[in-house]
Amino acid sequence: MDADLFKAVGDATRRTILDELTDKDGQTLFEICGRLAMKHGLSSSRQAISQHLAVLEQVGLVRTRRQGRYKFHYLDTSPLRSIVERWPIDREEPGP
């Protein structure tokens, strides 16, 4: 799972999508595409963004909820805990 997670966050467009969901959680594909185009100059097709979202959903970083004909995308950072737990950071400064 870690390899898939690293691959998912290794793509700049997917990281930008995650940043946008951090800014405003619960967006539709249309909203995400609009924000990516206006704020970041990304002119990827809706199909391409949908595929990126599918990768993020597959590794658990994005959860979805359907409401009528709309599908809302939500950020879920819990899969990142496995990375943090794998390499704990010692917060103390090393001594001389």
Q: Residue 48 and residue 30: Cα distance in Å, rounded?
A: 12
Question: What is the reported pLDDT for 87?
Answer: 74
CATH number of the domain where residue 45 is located: 1.10.10.10
Question: Does a structural domain hold residue 94?
Answer: no
Question: Does a structural domain hold residue 12?
Answer: yes
Question: Does a structural domain hold residue 63?
Answer: yes
Question: What is the reported pLDDT for 13?
Answer: 96
Domain count, the chain: 1
Question: Does a structural domain hold residue 92?
Answer: no
Question: Does a structural domain hold residue 96?
Answer: no
Question: Does a structural domain hold residue 21?
Answer: yes
pLDDT by residue for the chain (96 residues), tens only, comes to 578 999 999 999 999 999 999 999 999 999 999 999 999 999 899 999 999 999 999 999 999 999 999 999 999 999 988 777 777 766 666 656
Global confidence as pTM: 0.84
Domain that holds residue 30: 2-85
Q: Residue 57 and residue 18: Cα distance in Å, rounded?
A: 11
Question: Does a structural domain hold residue 93?
Answer: no
Q: Is residue 49 packed enough to be buried (19+ CB in 10 Å), middle (13-18) or exposed (0-12)? A: buried
Could you tell me how many residues make up the chain?
Answer: 96
Side chain identity at 60, as an amino acid letter? G
Question: What is the reported pLDDT for 94?
Answer: 62
Q: Residue 56 and residue 15: Cα distance in Å, rounded?
A: 10
Question: What is the reported pLDDT for 17?
Answer: 97
